[in-house]
Amino acid sequence: MLKIKLLLAALIVPYAATLSQPLSAESQKVITRSTMIGLGVSNVLDTYLSQEHFKGPGVSFLSTIERNRTDSHWSTLMEHEANISSVKDRPDMKHELEGAYNFYWGKLYGWQLFNNSLKLQVGGLVNASLGVIYNTSNSNNPAQARAHLNLMPTGTAAYRFQLFKRNLVARYELSLPLAGIMFSPNYGQSYYEIFSRGNYDHNIVPTTFISAPEWRQMLTVDIPLTTHPTPLTLRIGYLGNMQQAKVNNLRQHIYTHRVLIGITKRFSIIPRAL
């Protein structure tokens, strides 16, 4: 009986000691969460509604979340972007309201270079977008719905440097379209025909970087405000999104330029041992 007790103790004690030890930094999950507001200008063209170019002020809300493990090169990037613009034509006779919501999700593979001063990432994002353009002057077909799903190759570069004894981070992100699908009425087709009569006329259109090119880029600089207990950072930057499409004999573009300002938080999570 004494031998059995000694054997159990030899097995249990080392296991209990392992549970009591803290997990190494290699097993930590690092989460970077940023919330920003952007102000700027928008340029809108949709030939289904008007042949005119419209331009005016716009506002955007951008939320980004990046998750990665300290023992892995892979990270998960998720972004929510909402835009609204009030634009007018050149003679200031017609007005349009444009609004859209974009959701981006994807995976990036990263490398740390130059003693961790430079981080490069490459990967891909899936972009789902919903929106509408409303022309206040049109009595027939006053609105145009926007909906597309894109696969977008993406790359980022983040550089750490010191300025005025502060550790700053400059980050650049670029996304380009590869292929996707989008909704579009055909030339001369009304929404009444599509949704009331059910007359399908090539309204779900496959797209490529040729028929629906897009250039989305973001440049930000992080300025630390606090370091303890949770690092809090001021983030300022620029967001530009140039979307174009030429399908069903219709042309559309939405160009947005935003100056961004917001707050970024970065924290680590240590998974509990089983």
20 — pLDDT class (breaks 50, 70, 90): very low
Q: Which two tokens stand for residue 1?
A: 């009986």
Residue 212 has pLDDT above 80, yes or no: yes
195 — pLDDT class (breaks 50, 70, 90): confident
Position 13 scores a pLDDT of 41
pTM of the predicted model as reported, rounded to 2 decimal places: 0.86
Position 4 scores a pLDDT of 42
The model's pLDDT over 43-54, given as tens digits with 9 standing for 90+, comes to: 999 999 999 999
Residue 8 has pLDDT above 60, yes or no: no
C-alpha 92/C-alpha 73 separation (Å) is 52
Q: Residue range 82-94: average pLDDT?
A: 94
Distance separating the N- and C-terminal Cα atoms of the chain: 30
Q: Which two tokens stand for residue 205?
A: 């259109």
Q: Residue range 49-68: average pLDDT?
A: 96
Q: Residue range 90-103: average pLDDT?
A: 95
Q: Which of 30, 97, 82 is nearest to 271 (CA)?
A: 30
Position 268 scores a pLDDT of 83
Position 227 scores a pLDDT of 73
C-alpha 253/C-alpha 44 separation (Å) is 6
How far CA 164 is from CA of 10, 115, 167, 223, 274, in Å, comes to 57, 21, 9, 11, 45
The model's pLDDT over 113-137, given as tens digits with 9 standing for 90+, comes to: 999 999 999 999 999 999 999 999 8
273 — pLDDT class (breaks 50, 70, 90): low
Residue 225 has pLDDT above 70, yes or no: yes
Residue 3 has pLDDT above 80, yes or no: no
28 — pLDDT class (breaks 50, 70, 90): confident
Position 165 scores a pLDDT of 84
211 — pLDDT class (breaks 50, 70, 90): very high
* Bigger pLDDT: 221 vs 227: 221
Position 159 scores a pLDDT of 97
59 — pLDDT class (breaks 50, 70, 90): very high
Position 274 scores a pLDDT of 52
